Amino acid sequence: METEQLKIPKATAKRLPLYYRFIQNLYQSGKQRVSSAELSEAVKVDSATIRRDFSYFGALGKKGYGYNVQYLLTFFRKILDQDELTKVALVGVGNLGTALLKYNFTKNNNTKIVCAFDTNEEKIGNYISDIEIFSMEQLEEKLVSEGIQVVILTVPANVAQLVTDRLIKTDIKGILNFTPARLTVPSTINVQHIDLAVELQSFVYLIKHYSTEELAVE
């Protein structure tokens, strides 16, 4: 990926899709130019951070002129590989897994769940939002044949590592882990942990002990 070649900070990389989404909206509304201050107000990231993020990619705009919306759209589309589909698999079709299948990242042009896996015989062979649910017995074979790079893990915590051990045997590059389990993987695989219970608990603590202004600080 371009972002890996440029070695930009991870915090910057995480903000790129946010910039891209807002720039898409600007382009669709017919706006031709946008300032860092306008971007800051829209995406809730301070303008100095936006200018610093953009500086990693060279001169994207001109002082006093702002940024050309169409140019930014084309640039970030290329950076984020929007013309190349990244296939995703989901393992564990419970309540959360089902919700993710129905959502299927509809706002992303380049990311799509293409298959799901579960152990429940009543679910195997069925479809949710046109996505077929396969048996766990087909896991490794299907991931390899479909060229899956990313797996969303929504299985019970007590089997998360067992499933991960099987995923490691395929060609995947990343796991989006929605289980409380902390996974052990080789350095060739990236894991993003998303524990909704922890996130909510942390958020509640922050809003009780910090002001809105303090929370807004990067």
User: pLDDT value at position 4?
Assistant: 45
Look at the domain 86-198 and name its fold.
Rossmann fold (3.40.50)
Q: What is the pLDDT of residue 3?
A: 44
C-alpha span between 5 and 19 (Å, rounded): 20
Report d(CA 126, CA 132) in Å as an integer: 6
* Ranges of each domain in the chain: 2-79, 86-198
Taking the domain 2-79, which CATH number applies? Answer: 1.10.10.10
Q: What is the pLDDT of residue 82?
A: 66
Identical fold between 2-79 and 86-198: no
pLDDT of residue 165: 97
Q: Each residue's pLDDT tens digit in the chain (218 positions)?
A: 444 445 688 888 888 888 888 898 888 888 888 888 888 888 888 888 888 888 888 767 666 677 888 888 888 888 877 667 789 999 999 999 999 999 887 656 678 899 999 999 999 999 999 999 999 999 999 999 999 999 999 999 999 999 999 999 999 999 999 999 999 999 999 999 998 887 788 888 888 877 766 666 54
